[in-house]
Structure 1
Amino acid sequence: MQFTVGYPLERKNVDFSRDVKNAIALSLSPQVNKIDREGYYPREFLHQLGEIGGFEQSVTAAFGGNGKGFKSALQVIEAVSQTCLCTGFMTWCHIACVWYIQKSKNNYLRQKILPQIATGQVLAGTGLSNPMKHFADIEKIALTAKPCEGGYIIDGLLPWVSNLGQGHYFAIVAKIVDTNDYLMAIVSDDFPGLNLKSTAHFIALEGSQTFSCQFREVFVPDQYILASPCADYIQEIKAGFVLAQVGMGLGVTQASVNAMKKSNVRYGHVNGFLDDTVEFIEEDLELLRLKSYALANKLNYQKTPDDIDFFKKVVKCRIQASELALRSSQSAILYAGARGYLQGSDLDRRLRESYFVAIVTPALKHLKKILHDFTP
């Protein structure tokens, strides 16, 4: 299977781009239907992606990375999502956890845990859906933290955390009892009292290893605390958290554009009468790429993490990624006609994938609320 990405992955060593393409074509593409229909978890591919440098792009060499920058990390998510959004989402989960740790001042996490995650030796997820919605006044915080000697005791039920499994790390936010402060930490199901439960089945995301996480008096040592209190720290990581998700939208949209061009070989004489043509969508895709890549480059040197104007630009890009993924996947089916309506077709899967781009936290409605709340 030929694999193409709209823009090449940037690295002086062109072997990296070739290795990513080969890994996707040889290890991921043959498993896509199994991931989608049977809930297969592509563990081997994720480890392979880590081995070839897919998770370490934004991490400095001192902590196990190559320091190529956030744009390169975003492009890895884009490349994987073009073939399989479910796996692209898990790639984002893992890179997000890498991002959290590298932005922390906790030397234990940066020196001991980050190299394991950045190289894909240990896989990781992010449990920030609930707190991100909580801080936007959408839902209540799920976890509480009680200070104790040497750390904190965490209690609560955190629903739907993805890319989890035995020994995987993931991030959490908990409200510190009897205060108005919060902490953020890295945890694992290896911590006594932390249990993973499979409580739901998902369309397009069944292979994502998504669990509810039950915390019953879980002791989290100080060495696993990313920040406490964490208000300033969350301001520093939130732009990267949101911007990296644009890679999912770029990948899904590129796949839909490719499908539309393929349909035009047979139906181009009539597809041109549709309002949303492949030319319009491809133009919007290229513009979104340029904007998101520029923001990613700027993020490497961002000195003012509370820069509202910068974050607004990130949020707008993320909104555009959602809307473009929806437009393009719908148009791809209209371009294909009845062929696109066959059960199990790539277009069927991509339509379901595009809806996830618009509902994963922060969802499209959440993003628009953020922009509204910025309005004086």
Structure 2
Amino acid sequence: MQASEISCKTSPSEMLTDGMLMQSLKQAIAHKLAPQVSQIDLQGVYPEEFLRHIGGLGAYAQCVAQEYGGTGSGVLPALKAIEMVSATCLSTGFMAWCHNACAWYLQNSDNPFLKEQILPQVAKGELLSGTGLSNPMKHFAGIEKIKIIATPCEGGYILNGTLPWVSNIGDQHLFGISAQIEGTDDYLMAIAQGGMQGLELKQDVHFIALEGTNTFRCLFRNAFISHDWILASPCDRYVEYIKPGFILMQVGMGLGLAQNCIELMRRIDKSKAHVNQFLDDRPEELESELETLRLKSYRLAEAIGRGRQLVSKEILREVVEARATASELSLRSSQSLMLHAGAIAYVHGSVYERRLRESYFVAMVTPALKHLRKVLASM
């Protein structure tokens, strides 16, 4: 898929912002997502219709400037949208983050083709998108080596290498990647297309949760990518632009999951408070910590704003701390929920068991809790 094959289908329209978006999302989640959650979790059903529907509402347009089909509202309403979806289904909340992350990459790029022709379609959910930056984020933190090599050639680069798992992708999806430029110490970031020649998508493992996220192993074998699809090369400064928003929007997953765990505990307490009162991590305590994290995250989202700027070291540290706290609070909330529910929680397919499995994903998806603590130790 090259530049000539893409046309901008999005016409100027009024995308919903913040309050109106949240109300519309709430209705969409109740009617279109909630009835599917068990199928998504246990059967690996990919909720494509819902993902496209909330794109039309504006769930992916908040970080995107108005001239590129967005609302220009910034990171905060995007984080809130991810939080709201995650409260019902973390798989789908994670995919909402994946898509928003890709929109964030495009918004922060200087590439006019990507911003003018591709970003408007991503902002509206016409082109569904993911992110393949787990490996590069770990590479730049000194955890593992970059796995894709880009060899310069006429008109672009030849890509070779493998990305273990990339989510919310398919033959018609886009996703962000990073590669080392062969023979140099420089790196580039680009947008790959799921159906591009030389790329094979393999789905050869099963996960304990998030099966419905269209997660594939990506094998690049002499795959050509033109300069039209390069986000930044070299990408050192560009990575500093996208990092705070990339990390902070993930906090929405933890906020939503922990909120639902607390709500479920309160529901259980209507009949079991007489015995649950002796447990640690009671709903009142967790809710207080959750609200503190929520307010901190919202403040940081306002500080990051609309991107295209470097944040201070102090803000970045707070972002990393918030992301780590989201992991820890997700784990504590889901484990406490299991104990509050008792034996019924041990039944396979229960909402309590699902939330427990999902909470480990919040703590393990890049940047994982151990990754975050490593970064904090060096800041």
Output the TM-score relative to the length of structure 1: 0.95
**In 1, Cα distance between equivalents of 2:136 and 2:113:** 24
> Counterpart of 2:279?
274
Please state if 1:97 is matched with 2:107: no
Structure-2 residue corresponding to 1:129:
134
CA contact (8 A) 2:280 2:336 kept: no
Q: In angstroms, what is the RMSD of aligned CA positions?
A: 1.3
CA offset at residue 16 of structure 1?
2.3
Post-superposition offset of 1:120:
0.3
In structure 2, the partner of 1:150 is: 155
Give the secondary-structure state (helix, strand or coil) at the position aligned to 2:224. strand
Report the Cα distance in structure 2 between the residues aligned to 1:12 and 1:143, rounded to whole angstroms: 38
Corresponding position of 1:367: 372
Q: Deviations over 1:103-140 (max 9, x none)?
A: 00111100000001110001000000001111111111
SS in 1 for 2:63: coil
Hey, what does 2:89 align to over in structure 1? 84
Of 330-339 and 227-236, more deviation after overlay is shown by: 330-339
Determine the C-alpha separation between the residues in 1 that align with 2:279 and 2:36.
33
CA contact (8 A) 2:72 2:306 kept: no
Give the AA of the match of 1:203. Answer: I
Could you tell me which of 334, 342, 347 is aligned with 1:342?
Answer: 347
2:272 maps to 1:251: no
Choose from 176, 195, 201 the match for 1:196: 201
Aligned to 1:8: none
Question: Using the alignment, how far apart are the partners of 1:303 and 1:186 within structure 2?
Answer: 18
2:108, 2:308 within 8 Å by CA — same for their partners in 1?
no
1:109 aligned partner, one-letter code? L
Taking the aligned partners of 2:87 and 2:252, their CA distance within structure 1 comes to 9
Equivalent residue runs for 1:1-376 within 5 Å: 14-300=19-305, 305=310, 307-374=312-379
Contact kept in structure 1, 2:146 and 2:180, CA below 8 Å: yes
Q: CA deviation digits over 1:197-217, x for unaligned, max 9? A: 112111111111100111111
2:86 partner letter: S
Contact 2:265–2:341 (CA<8 Å) still a contact in 1? Answer: yes
Instruction: Tell me, in whole angstroms, the C-alpha distance in 1 between the residues paired with 2:358 and 2:17.
Output: 32
Distance 1:302 1:102, change over 3 A: closer
- Return the alpha-carbon distance in structure 2 between the equivalents of residues 168 and 304 of structure 1: 28
Q: Deviations over 1:315-352 (max 9, x none)?
A: 00000000000000011111111122222110000000
Shift of 1:12: 6.3
- Structure-2 change in CA distance of 1:345 and 1:15 (3 Å): same
CA–CA distance in 2 between the matches of 1:310 and 1:18?
30
Change (3 A) 1:103 1:301: closer
The one-letter amino acid paired with 1:180 is D
Return the alpha-carbon distance in structure 1 between the equivalents of residues 244 and 153 of structure 2. 32
* Code of the aligned partner of 1:133: K
- Cα gap change, 1:68 to 1:307, in 2 (>3 Å): same
State the alpha-carbon separation in 1 of the partners of residues 63 and 199 from structure 2.
30
Aligned equivalents of 2:361 and 2:17: distance in 1? Answer: 34
Task: Give the number of equivalent residue pairs.
Answer: 364
Shift of residue 15 of structure 1?
3.7
- Report the AA paired with residue 121 of structure 1: E
**1:175-227 CA-partner distances (Å, limit 9, x unpaired):** 00110000000010222111111121111111111001111111111111000
Residue aligning to 2:11: none
Distance 1:260 1:164, change over 3 A: same
What's the TM-score, normalizing by structure 2? 0.94
Structure 1 runs of 4+ off > 4 angstroms? 11-14, 301-304
Compared CA separation, residues 203 and 253, structure 1 to 2 (3 A): same
Residue 159 of structure 2 contacts residue 224 of structure 2 at CA under 8 Å; is this kept in 1? yes
| Identity value in percent | 54
Residue range with higher mean Cα deviation, 246-255 or 334-343: 334-343
Unmatched 5+ stretches in structure 2:
1-15
SS in 2 for 1:174: strand
Q: After alignment, is 113-122 or 146-155 more displaced?
A: 146-155
SS in 1 for 2:212: helix
**Which amino acid is 1:355 matched to?**
Y
Report SS of the residue matched to 1:186: strand
In structure 2, distance between residues paired with 1:116 and 1:262 = 41
